[in-house]
Homo-oligomer: A and B are copies of this chain.
Amino acid sequence: MSVLPFRAGAAAVLDANAVALRRLASLVPLSAEEAKGVLALPLACRASPVGSELCAAGAIAPWPRVLVQGWACRMRMLPDGRRQMFDLVLPGDLIGSLLPPYRPAAAASVALTPVETANAAPLAALLAGPGEALPAALAALDRQSERLLLDQITRLGRQTAYERTAHLLIEIKCRLAAVGLACGNAFPLPLRQDTIADLLGLSVVHVNRTLQQMRRDRVLELRGGVAVLLQPGRLQAEAGFDTPQPGPSYGAA
């Protein structure tokens, strides 16, 4: 449990079809037919360096793309230089909606590591084919991305630094596990501390101190771009990580 099962830079490598398939199948079970269809798609990959803008805010992408490798995020700059990240884009996630109407992007998508993206248009074509699991998976994808935004709001609005950090780490673990990029409780975490700060609405210094505290608490091991959650249950409890509760009565005057 304390041996890091990844070597930095030696992360698993999946091709575009495998990533897309895993992502979709993690939401809705696909028929063998549909799975084969996804694996047969001609997905053309393109590499982009760290820091490149995969999609500008307000831009309408010519076609939808899937992130195949590397990490990205959606973010916004404030006029005075403050930065806020809205969510992470992990392998298997879409950049832009798969189907028309193609809406202008509400935020810029930026590569946090070197990334590879594939044109997802062939996947859209597959939706017209037989089987209903694929459309359902697409709908679930949309739904999950909204849920992640709401989770982010909850973190920023009502959680302490420690809780926010724990919640984010668990979220990342779960999302990576869904596409087979986590190994038990260990997973790659190629983020700088200042990036985590911009995600969590904290300062770099405080992120650093929070991570130190987690190490002292023996709930987290973090070295060389690889994170290991040592006591996932405890961390999950502290993060209040669970499904949203139905809201009780709540009024105003």
- A residues contacting B by CB (< 8 A) are 50-53, 56-58, 71, 74-80, 82-84, 86, 101, 103-104, 106-108, 110-113, 135-136, 139, 142-143, 146-147, 149-150, 152-154, 156-159, 190-192, 195, 198, 200-201, 225, 240, 242-253
A-B pairs with beta carbons under 8 Å apart, 29 shown: A50-B253, A56-B246, A57-B245, A58-B246, A77-B245, A78-B154, A79-B242, A79-B245, A83-B250, A84-B153, A84-B157, A84-B158, A103-B139, A103-B142, A103-B143, A104-B143, A106-B244, A107-B150, A108-B244, A108-B246, A108-B247, A111-B251, A113-B252, A113-B253, A146-B149, A156-B156, A157-B198, A190-B252, A190-B253
**How many copies of the chain does the oligomer comprise?**
2
Asked if A139 contacts B83 (CB within 8 A), the reply is no
Asked if B150 contacts A248 (CB within 8 A), the reply is no
Asked if A244 contacts B154 (CB within 8 A), the reply is no
